[in-house]
């Protein structure tokens, strides 16, 4: 009830209503871009090939692309790259900022440094767009090199050649940069983080397809119960299970470990301490967000596809790569190891306990019972390791749920993908962040928020 009242109050505030309408309009433009086919591509032939691949390998790399492009893969839309080159460039710059002194210095230079990093990120985005678009155009022109057998007399590209490659690079790069600009406009004039919202909308655009597949599975084609593939008991169990998974995802996303911080207040004259102020340093349980899952899935599928391509059919290496790419015991084990590895790797590169301890010391603050300086850094590092283990385990459980559902209950990937993995984490996280921004506008104008007690808390980042 409070949630519906909160949405009603949001529409009563002219400034907030304007931001919501701007966001909806820009998101509509992004969805439109993802539906415009690339010139020169016979998208009907491509769609047939993609559907055949997805039926033979559910949850594979093509499904992964389909999730994050919002259905742009099947028709090779000019918006196929979407916001992902920009996100990839941000991740690369963020990681390099921990190992390259020049970039690390820019991060510490305040607003001017952030603007320079943003400009470098945009240039890198253009490079990634050109490279990826050229690779896509080449693959479409020569599908046989990827092991794709086309029907006789059919081809994906009508007129392959340099002209088609250049046209594809220009079209996809321009579309991706336009989507990047739209994301910036949503962040500036709309509600929430533009890039995160675009990714979430791309994922949720598959929800009608998932609902239709669920209807056919549990109620039959056109409501004919005789054609149903599963009973109502499984449906009830899955609904309850879905609610439980969502609750667990929210808890993991919102989970914090509050480290008490004592600060000595100083008087304006003499610089003497006259009182103590207690604060908290929030350490997020899921510090990495969805990054480990995003890294792990392609790192399994892409090398597996390359190995199957370069090795002889029937050889041990070929069979190993095939087994690794398909959902099974080996795939799950390697997937779990990669997720835990990237969870700790991301924390190790992004969480700098030494810098935090030095900043605390400079601000005349300390953790009760811990000596300032090196002891504080060691304490924070040890504490973050324990928190990361808990968060990584929770992230691993959520990531494995869709694959377990496909293996145990034979649930189609289009349905199972909403029960966990990257899809659910992004939807829950972005929804919480967006609602938190809206709630802040409501509370400033003395309206009730979305919750009867307390207030929403965002993730603090993607």
Q: 259 - beta bridge partners? A: 281
The domain of 181 spans 16-194
Cα 414 → chain centroid: 17
Closest CA to 352 of 106, 102, 104: 104
Domain assignment of residue 223, yes or no: no
Q: Which two tokens stand for residue 454?
A: 């307390």
162-196 tens-digit pLDDT: 999 999 999 999 999 999 999 999 999 998 888 88
- Is the separation of the CB atoms in 394 and 292 below 8 Å? no
Max avg pLDDT among 33-42, 247-256, 315-324: 247-256
- Is the separation of the CB atoms in 174 and 190 below 8 Å? no
Between CA 72 and CA 446 the distance in angstroms is 43
Give me the number of domains the chain comprises: 1
Domain assignment of residue 241, yes or no: no
Between CA 72 and CA 206 the distance in angstroms is 11
Between CA 96 and CA 85 the distance in angstroms is 16
Domain assignment of residue 61, yes or no: yes
Domain assignment of residue 27, yes or no: yes
**Which residue is it, tokens 């835990």?**
340
User: Range with the lowest mean pLDDT among 105-109, 182-186, 455-459?
Assistant: 455-459
Between CA 242 and CA 228 the distance in angstroms is 21
Domain assignment of residue 401, yes or no: no
Position 272 pLDDT exceeds 60:
no
Domain assignment of residue 308, yes or no: no
112-136 tens-digit pLDDT: 888 888 899 999 999 999 999 998 8
Predicted TM-score (pTM) of the model is 0.82
Q: Give the CATH number for residue 104.
A: 1.10.3370.10
Domain assignment of residue 33, yes or no: yes
Angle at 303 between CA 341 and CA 82, to 5 degrees: 85
- Is the separation of the CB atoms in 336 and 297 below 8 Å? no
Between CA 21 and CA 13 the distance in angstroms is 12
Taking the chain, what is the end-to-end CA distance rounded to the nearest angstrom? Answer: 29
Angle at 441 between CA 445 and CA 87, to 5 degrees: 170
51-97 tens-digit pLDDT: 666 655 555 566 666 666 666 666 678 888 888 899 889 888 888 88
Parallel, antiparallel, or unpaired: how do β-strands 256-266 and 365-366 relate?
Answer: antiparallel
Report the residue count for the chain: 462
Domain assignment of residue 184, yes or no: yes
- Is the separation of the CB atoms in 462 and 196 below 8 Å? yes
**Which residue is it, tokens 């340099």?**
162
Neighbours of 334 (CB within 10 A): 15
């Amino acid at each position: 009830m409070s949630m519906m009242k909160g949405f009603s109050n949001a529409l009563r505030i002219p400034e907030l209503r304007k931001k919501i309408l701007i966001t909806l309009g820009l998101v509509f433009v992004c969805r439109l871009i993802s539906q415009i086919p690339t010139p020169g591509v016979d998208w009907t032939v491509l769609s047939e090939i993609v559907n055949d691949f997805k039926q033979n390998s559910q949850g594979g790399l093509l499904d992964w692309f389909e999730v994050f492009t919002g259905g742009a893969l099947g028709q090779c839309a000019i918006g196929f790259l979407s916001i992902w080159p920009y996100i990839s460039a941000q991740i690369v710059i963020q990681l390099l900022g921990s190992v390259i002194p020049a970039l690390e210095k820019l991060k510490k230079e305040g607003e001017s440094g952030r603007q320079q990093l943003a400009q470098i990120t945009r240039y890198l985005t253009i490079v990634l767009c050109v490279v990826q678009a050229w690779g896509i155009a080449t693959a479409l022109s020569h599908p046989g090199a990827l092991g794709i057998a086309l029907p006789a007399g059919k081809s994906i590209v009508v007129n392959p050649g340099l002209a088609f490659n250049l046209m594809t690079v220009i079209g996809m790069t321009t579309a991706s940069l336009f989507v990047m600009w739209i994301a910036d406009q949503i962040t500036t004039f709309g509600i929430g983080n533009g890039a995160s919202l675009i990714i979430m909308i791309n994922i949720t655009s598959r929800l009608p397809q998932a609902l239709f597949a669920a209807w056919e599975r549990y109620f039959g084609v056109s409501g004919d119960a005789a054609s149903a593939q599963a009973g109502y008991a499984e449906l009830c169990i899955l609904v309850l299970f879905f609610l439980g998974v969502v609750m667990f995802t929210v808890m993991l996303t919102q989970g914090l470990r509050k480290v008490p911080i004592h600060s000595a207040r100083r008087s304006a004259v003499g610089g003497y301490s006259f009182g103590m102020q207690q604060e908290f340093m929030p350490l997020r349980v899921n510090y990495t967000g969805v990054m480990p899952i995003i890294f792990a899935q392609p790192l399994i599928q892409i090398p597996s596809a390359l190995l199957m391509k370069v090795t002889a059919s029937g050889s041990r290496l070929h069979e190993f790569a095939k087994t690794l790419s398909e959902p099974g015991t080996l795939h799950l084990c390697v997937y779990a190891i990669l997720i835990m590895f990237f969870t700790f790797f991301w924390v190790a590169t992004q969480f700098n306990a030494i810098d935090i301890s030095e900043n605390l010391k400079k601000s005349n603050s300390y953790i009760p019972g811990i000596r300032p300086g090196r002891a504080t850094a060691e304490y924070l590092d040890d504490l973050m390791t324990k928190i990361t283990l808990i968060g990584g385990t929770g992230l691993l459980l959520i990531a494995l749920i869709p694959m377990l559902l496909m293996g145990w209950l034979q649930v189609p990937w289009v349905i199972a993908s909403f029960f966990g993995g990257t899809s659910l984490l992004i939807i829950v996280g972005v929804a919480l962040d967006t609602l938190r921004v809206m709630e802040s506008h409501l509370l400033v104008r003395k309206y009730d928020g979305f919750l009867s007690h307390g207030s929403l808390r965002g993730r603090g980042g993607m």
